Chain A
Amino acid sequence: MTTTSKKLETVIVRFAGDSGDGMQLVGDRFTAATAHVGNDLSTLPDFPAEIRAPAGTPGGVSAFQIHFASRDILTPGDHPNTLVAMNPAALKAHLDALEAGGTLLVNEDAFTPANLRKAGYEANPLEDGTVEDYQTFEVPMTTLTTRATDDIEGLKPAEAQRTKNLFALGLISWMYGRPGKATISWLEAKFASKPAIKEANVAAFKAGYNFGDTAEIAATPIEVGPAPLDAGEYRNINGANATAMGLLAASVKSGLQLFFATYPITPASELLHHLARHNRFGVRTVQAEDEIAAVNMALGASFGGKLGVTATSGPGMDLKAETIALAQVLELPLVVIDVQRAGPSTGLPTKTEQSDLLMAIHGRHGESPLPVIAASTPSGCFDAAVEAARIAVRHRTPVILLSDTFLTNSSEPWRLPSMDDLPEIDPDFAIGPNAGDEFLPYLRDERGARPWAIPGTPGLQHRLGGLEKEHGSGKVSYDPANHALMTKLRAEKLEKLAEELPPLVVDADEGAELLVLGWGSTSGVIGAAARRIRGRGLPIAIAHLRNLEPMPLNTGDVVRSFDKVLIPELNTGQLLSLVRDKFLVDAIGHNKVEGLPILAEELEQAILELIE
């Protein structure tokens, strides 16, 4: 047993291997163990679009990064302190990211001439000086795993070798003092019906752990203590699950059955997988024949008095656009979730981007404004989903909720909210006439919202439709003045919603001349970069928009009150364009479209260039 250990405040580990190597599983398990220790954490799964991408090539590498700390952290981190590379391709794809002098663990067995060739190495990087600036540990993981699982009856050699990811996990768990018990019981439950596989995985994990512990590896174990998080009960959660929970919460709180119709698309399908399990809450999920059917089914269900929700990613949003415009004219509640991915077209389907903002706001024919909100952290997807449903129901409108690949896959500790704190969501169905003896389906209330009269309600029969409707009566109307009036009234719904929104909060230092304004998943990196700037003794202001359409009423005043406004986005400048357009402020963009989040150091540099 090693007796000495080194204390660190924050650590970044990245696992990288073939997409069939089980790196995501290893990452998930390491995350669970890390949550148990009580660290704050943030993760970044990063995998190829192909289920089994060409083995051994850099394009087929799947990686998982976790940042954990004994203080609160905001991002999955820039550069790993430790990189686990299961083969040459993983080394090739990820070595550049490893911090100078960082720890490199490689599966030595995988560095065969064939694998080196597939990875594009002309010489063995373990021998030609490529890795000499790192603290490199060459571990024959495949051999050791095979040896550890040698005497397991009924285990095929290929099955034995496949458990080498657990060996790596065991070794890293030892290195960072993560308890193995939870991982072992998880393996025992997961493979309960396959005793040989279960035994092999457990044996490989223990072998890796013991390999470190018996000092066969000359590294000092590292201790990262629990983070002083706010008191409360926590769980680890990713954005997909948090969104699902938010929708369930909105359903229970409103008393509206959740009707979720969708068509499989990466990365939005995760939401369907989560919700399909929740029979217990009466969730009706439908896997529709296409994207257009999905949104129409959700809209039909809304007409029937349900909480109609659909979810997709960019290409699906294009297909749904016509129906979203219909919903806007019908003025029925509908939640459309867009888990943004790198586009256009199929683009980089498993990589993140924030490039659907302008489409969400403007991407429909005709004048069809509707509320757009964006989640900014994985756990924040819960509140964002509740808020999207609340606005949709209260204001009788489709709402677009923007998430993205990073938020949906990334996880972090979540302090569980009290259900008592959920906002009121009152369907307030129409139950009788609203104008003397008559029912006028387009008579508006003080919010500009029309009544939601659902089929089955005697006497309130009415016809909705895409043809322009007469103000009040809702009859088909081709009257020019009426169309102008209805266009204005639909726009005013957003103005009235804006009046109800909480103001944009600015976190500003005294004397700050630069405001960094963000939206969506850049929230973490903006916070992290601001810390770095403040660490240098420089003043800065940051603000983050959740409501993109309409924006809080003070947004213009905020952006006008700083000398400079920097807008970091994973697109080529979409919020930038909105801010310039709405407020005539010459804001500056910091833009990245590489399918990966902005790094804190990149943003820090961009900020320094503006304030120094």
Chain B
Amino acid sequence: MSENGHDHEHGNGAAGTLTKADFQSGQETRWCPGCGDYAILASVQALMPELGIPPEKTVFISGIGCAGRFVYYMDTYGMHGIHGRAPALATGIATAREDLSVWVVSGDGDSLSIGGNHLIHSLRRNVPIKLLLFNNQIYGLTKGQYSPTSETGKITKSTPFGSEDHPFNPLALALGADASFVARTIDVEKVHLTEVLRKAAEHEGSAFVEIYQNCNVFNDGAFDAVRGKGGGPNQIRLEHGQPLRFGAENERGVVRSADGGLEVVEVADVGADAIVVHDAHIEDPSHATALARLADAPTGPTPIGVFRDVKRPVYGAARQHELLEAHANATLGDLDELLRSGDTWTV
């Protein structure tokens, strides 16, 4: 068999015949009842057949944490690695096998604490992997310590007097690493989540998607300002080419602030023409960064959707074709020749 075929054709029927069931493994799911991960899993399993990539060409890689179990529930190729290193494992497989669709599932502790280095470097390289960051702002699997996205002052078992740490803004971090695709969505917003993931899948290169995910056991309600009932009015839904308006009556909007960033205003105060029109394709990450900084914490108006989607050379793509061809043509005779190149002598 060919391990290195570049075609996206597959051996077990046309993409159109794939169903959600083709992506469901038999392994029993073991998240806490009510966990946001169930909703994400269901949406991902439903999306996969629509992408037209067969399960055998799809690989899910995860690290440690509740999100890490995700790979066991997908009937694709998968690897549950060690804490924080999933982007590095995924870089290996995606670089070696550009014919595969490679996804990373990770949490805020996994990706932003122990694995921060691999996250930023995979984004800067623009490795063709889709990174899903399940952000619940807490360590769940280790039973409730604060995480690098927990708010300052967070009271947990490990911080009984409140956390002293300043949290990461994951999107600003990704943009700082020059990520070519940066988006945010919410676990229970099935339609929105599916559309964001579809765009991530279509993106060539690294796609970073932060998913607000409720941990109903250790950090319940962390995203209530933007999630579930009553959260809608605070969602600033980003649509490329559309003005940044939101609110129950679309009465609020985003304008340029005096300090060069963005700020939220009442449309009535500034007029509809002053509202900034979203452009996800600007080369310069300033606009996306200003949007990411509009809400450092999901406690008020918060943008969701695709912040940035630009084209940048994809890591490995240019060379792997040549290397595979070279490898396929290399013979033991070539090796003999290599060993004998340079200074040799005969006894």
Q: Which residues of A in the span 296-318 have a Cβ within 8 Å of any Cβ on B? A: 296-306, 308
Q: Report whether B89 and A297 are in contact in the complex, using a CB–CB cutoff of 8 Å.
A: yes
**Which residues of chain A come closer than 8 Å to B339, judged between CB atoms?**
235, 245, 416-417
Q: For A280, give its contact among B58, B85, B326 (CB under 8 Å).
A: B326
Across the interface, name the chain A residue whose C-beta is closest to B344.
Answer: A235
Q: Report whether A304 and B100 are in contact in the complex, using a CB–CB cutoff of 8 Å.
A: yes
**Which residues of chain A come closer than 8 Å to B34, judged between CB atoms?**
none
| A and B contact pairs by CB, cutoff 8 A, 15 listed | A245-B335, A259-B92, A280-B330, A286-B92, A292-B85, A293-B117, A296-B81, A296-B91, A296-B118, A303-B89, A308-B92, A429-B3, A455-B100, A466-B64, A466-B81
**Which residues of chain B come closer than 8 Å to A302, judged between CB atoms?**
92
How many positions in chain A have a CB within 8 Å of any CB in the partner chain?
A: 79
Q: Which residues of B in the span 50-84 have a Cβ within 8 Å of any Cβ on A? A: 54-59, 61, 64, 71-72, 74-82
Q: Report whether A36 and B334 are in contact in the complex, using a CB–CB cutoff of 8 Å.
A: no
- Chain A interface: which of B209-217, B265-273, B315-323? B315-323
A326 to B74, CA, bound (A): 21
Instruction: Report if A447 contacts B (CB, 8 A).
Output: no
Q: For A455, give its contact among B25, B57, B121, B324 (CB under 8 Å).
A: B57
- Chain B interface: which of A4-12, A112-120, A216-224, A226-234? A226-234
A258 to B319, CA, bound (A): 14
Q: How far is the CB of A271 from chain B (nearest CB, A)?
A: 16
Q: Residue among A298, A299, A416, A463 with the most chain B CB within 10 A?
A: A463
**Which residues of chain B come closer than 8 Å to A204, judged between CB atoms?**
none
Instruction: Report if B258 contacts A (CB, 8 A).
Output: no
Assuming the contacts A234-B344, A281-B334, A305-B3, asked whether A293 and B121 have C-beta atoms less than 8 A apart, the reply is: yes
A431 to B92, CA, bound (A): 22
Across the interface, name the chain B residue whose C-beta is closest to A36.
Answer: B345
Q: Report whether A463 and B82 are in contact in the complex, using a CB–CB cutoff of 8 Å.
A: no
**Which residues of chain B come closer than 8 Å to A253, judged between CB atoms?**
332
A527 to B193, CA, bound (A): 68
Q: How far is the CB of A66 from chain B (nearest CB, A)?
A: 15
**Which residues of chain B come closer than 8 Å to A467, judged between CB atoms?**
80
Q: Report whether B117 and A290 are in contact in the complex, using a CB–CB cutoff of 8 Å.
A: yes
Q: Which residues of A in the span 46-104 have a Cβ within 8 Å of any Cβ on B? A: none
A301 to B88, CA, bound (A): 10
Q: What's the count of A-B pairs with C-beta under 8 Å?
A: 237
**Which residues of chain A come closer than 8 Å to B11, judged between CB atoms?**
458-459
Instruction: Report if A491 contacts B (CB, 8 A).
Output: no
Q: Report whether A304 and B93 are in contact in the complex, using a CB–CB cutoff of 8 Å.
A: yes
Q: For B344, give its contact among A233, A293, A417 (CB under 8 Å).
A: A233
Q: Residue among B56, B75, B347 with the most chain A CB within 10 A?
A: B347
Q: Report whether A300 and B90 are in contact in the complex, using a CB–CB cutoff of 8 Å.
A: yes
Instruction: Report if B43 contacts A (CB, 8 A).
Output: no
Chain B 88-106 interface 0/1 with A at a Cβ cutoff of 8 Å (1 = within):
1111111111011000000
A116 to B335, CA, bound (A): 51
Q: Report whether A248 and B347 are in contact in the complex, using a CB–CB cutoff of 8 Å.
A: no
Instruction: Report if B284 contacts A (CB, 8 A).
Output: no
Instruction: Report if A279 contacts B (CB, 8 A).
Output: yes
Q: For B346, give its contact among A232, A290, A303 (CB under 8 Å).
A: A232
Q: For A282, give its contact among B25, B94, B97, B328 (CB under 8 Å).
A: B328
Instruction: Report if A464 contacts B (CB, 8 A).
Output: yes
Across the interface, name the chain A residue whose C-beta is closest to B10.
Answer: A458
Chain A residues engaging chain B, CB cutoff 8 angstroms: 32, 35-36, 38, 182, 226, 229-236, 245, 248-249, 251-253, 257-259, 261, 278-284, 286, 288-290, 292-294, 296-306, 308, 322-323, 326, 330, 415-420, 422, 429, 431, 454-467, 475-476
Q: How far is the CB of A431 from chain B (nearest CB, A)?
A: 5
A294 to B89, CA, bound (A): 9
Q: For B56, give its contact among A305, A420, A458 (CB under 8 Å).
A: A458
A378 to B192, CA, bound (A): 60
Q: For B92, give its contact among A236, A261, A278, A419 (CB under 8 Å).
A: A261
Q: How far is the CB of B126 from chain A (nearest CB, A)?
A: 14
**Which residues of chain A come closer than 8 Å to B88, judged between CB atoms?**
288-289, 292-294, 296-297, 300
Q: Report whether B331 and A252 are in contact in the complex, using a CB–CB cutoff of 8 Å.
A: yes
Q: Report whether A296 and B89 are in contact in the complex, using a CB–CB cutoff of 8 Å.
A: yes
Q: For B326, give its contact among A36, A229, A282, A465 (CB under 8 Å).
A: A282
4 A-B pairs with least C-beta separation: A282-B327, A300-B92, A465-B80, A296-B88
Q: Residue among A249, A296, A418, A456 with the most chain B CB within 10 A?
A: A456
Q: Report whether B89 and A300 are in contact in the complex, using a CB–CB cutoff of 8 Å.
A: yes
Q: For A456, give its contact among B5, B81, B331, B344 (CB under 8 Å).
A: B5
A304 to B54, CA, bound (A): 16
Q: How far is the CB of B262 from chain A (nearest CB, A)?
A: 32
Q: How far is the CB of A237 from chain B (nearest CB, A)?
A: 9
Instruction: Report if B248 contacts A (CB, 8 A).
Output: no
Across the interface, name the chain A residue whose C-beta is closest to B22.
Answer: A461
**Which residues of chain A come closer than 8 Å to B249, judged between CB atoms?**
none
Q: Report whether A293 and B100 are in contact in the complex, using a CB–CB cutoff of 8 Å.
A: no
**Which residues of chain A come closer than 8 Å to B118, judged between CB atoms?**
289, 292-293, 296
Q: Report whether B95 and A286 are in contact in the complex, using a CB–CB cutoff of 8 Å.
A: yes
Q: Report whether B97 and A462 are in contact in the complex, using a CB–CB cutoff of 8 Å.
A: no
Q: Report whether A231 and B347 are in contact in the complex, using a CB–CB cutoff of 8 Å.
A: yes
A585 to B202, CA, bound (A): 64
Q: Report whether B93 and A455 are in contact in the complex, using a CB–CB cutoff of 8 Å.
A: yes
Instruction: Report if B343 contacts A (CB, 8 A).
Output: yes
Assuming the contacts A289-B117, A300-B88, A476-B72, asked whether A459 and B12 have C-beta atoms less than 8 A apart, the reply is: yes
Q: For B72, give its contact among A36, A416, A463 (CB under 8 Å).
A: A463
A246 to B90, CA, bound (A): 27
Assuming the contacts A38-B345, A297-B95, asked whether A248 and B82 have C-beta atoms less than 8 A apart, the reply is: no
**Which residues of chain B come closer than 8 Å to A299, judged between CB atoms?**
89, 92
Assuming the contacts A281-B330, A292-B88, asked whether A248 and B77 have C-beta atoms less than 8 A apart, the reply is: no
